[in-house]
Amino acid sequence: MRKVLLLLLLFILLSPALTFAQESTAGSSSATIDYILPYAGILPDSPFYFMKTFRDKVVSFFVTDPKKQAEFDLLQADKRLVAGRYLFTESHPKYSLALDTISKGENYFFFGIENASIAKKQGEDVNGLLDTMLTASLKHKEVLIALEESSPMSYQPIIAGQVKRVEDFTKQVTSLKQKH
């Protein structure tokens, strides 16, 4: 019984804001895509990051509606992009960890598109979500291109691969929007 109460208490204390609040990206005056990325929270280089990922997996497990799961996946993709960008641009960059974080975030984006497709097949109205995903994909591309331009040469091909992946996401979302 104690374990259940402890897990419940941890879940409550560590649960994400389900309103998907967003925070401005200060210092990005060159941004051209009007999409506000969320606050990343605890970063992957923190010793407490495992608690965040555990919490996110628990929350994801309990989200059964495909449209809500797609929204959650997009939020996770956005948070990991922001975390990766921060790790990339801090005073002592952690390039490998940043790229791993960004890649995992783009995996979430992929799953979000899949869940949006399932929701659409089930007859849910996902037009607003698809519009958001389309804008998000453009923002992800913008951030990745900026990272690619400012990164050491050895990391540029890896980032270019992520840019290509996000371009594919843009095509997938556009195609999904056009299907009736």
CATH number of the 63-180 domain: 1.20.58
- Where are the domains positioned within the chain? 63-180
42-98 pLDDT, tens per residue?
999 999 999 999 999 999 999 999 999 999 999 999 999 999 999 999 989 999 999
State the DSSP H helix or E strand holding residue 106, giving kind and residue range, or none if neither.
helix 95-121
Question: Residue-wise over 40-77: b if at least 16 C-beta within 10 A, else e?
Answer: bebbbeeeeeeebeebbeebeeebeebbebbbbbbbbb
> Does residue 179 surpass a pLDDT of 70?
yes
93-110 pLDDT, tens per residue?
999 999 999 999 999 999
pLDDT at 1: 59
